[in-house]
Amino acid sequence: MPYADLHVHTTRSDGQLELEAVPAAARDAGVDVVALTDHDRLQPFDDPVIEREGVTIVHGIELRVELTDETSEIDPGGDGAQRVDLLGYGVEPTADLAALVEGIQENRRERGQAIVDCVEDRLGVDLDVTVDEGFGRPHVARAIAAHPDVEYDYRDAFDGLIGDGDPCFVAREIPSFDRGRRVLADACAIVSLAHPLRYGDPERALARAGDLDAVELPYPYDRDVGLEPVERTIQREGLLVTGGSDAHGDELGLAGLTADEYHRLGLEER
């Protein structure tokens, strides 16, 4: 069991774990440190690291950005673009970060409502969901799967209704890699590339890792992967290692760091 799970989502975004329940979930998993890395959203506390009921909680964030052939502040997607996720740890909110996430959340709300409207119209049902901050496609998929008059399960919803290119898919605005990296670097102690082997072009994502502090290495990929490209990048660029379960429920500790690996990050010393 890892000492630190540095990739956990709560109800602040698309997770199912309430902030108040994090310490108990960590103790159940035998985890001493948890980083809360909700999508494009900050936690309701300003300190970079706090203690709750004997568990260390790191203020983190997961920010979706786009790698493009041409640098731009906001690129809504296009030929040659690849979306990747950056993990910020030890957040001390800045005005730039607050403005960035607020803009993203506004776009998320508009996009979420458009997806809900499309699904309800297409299926002829009322999903009875509230579109607010942190809302994303997983919320829609859960509502679809839970509806008694709908034959889609959670996976079917993504595969046939709301996934990329599906009838009810709606694109959203994504900050460029350079803007996201810059804003996170000003607000966070550590900026890491999340789950590099999940992307369509891992080599392209790893090629930008040298602009960051770390790369996520321990991660519960849903298929067999060879970690050698990630390990080579970490060694070549002299990067730190982060790792976590990417938990969206209450089961933590499926992946993470040893105590030595965690303390090497120096998050509690900054």
Instruction: Please give the domain boundaries of the chain with CATH numbers for all domains.
Output: 4-93+177-269 (3.20.20.140), 102-162 (no CATH)
How big is the chain by its Cα radius of gyration, in Å? Answer: 18
Residue 251's contacts (CB-CB under 8 Å, 6 or more residues apart) are 25, 29, 245
- Tell me the CA distances in angstroms from 269 to 161, 192, 257, one per residue in order: 46, 18, 17
Q: Which residues of the chain have pLDDT under 70?
A: 69-80, 270
- Return the SS3 of 247: strand
Helices (H) and strands (E) in the chain, counts: 8, 10
What is the model's pLDDT at position 72? 40
| pTM, rounded to two decimals | 0.87
What is the model's pLDDT at position 188? 98
Rounded CA separation 68/178 (Å): 10
- Return the SS3 of 139: helix
Q: Where are the beta strands (DSSP E) in the chain?
A: 4-8, 33-36, 49-52, 55-67, 74-75, 82-89, 174-175, 190-193, 214-216, 240-242
Q: Where are the beta strands (DSSP E) in 27-173?
A: 33-36, 49-52, 55-67, 74-75, 82-89
**Amino acid symbol at 163:** G
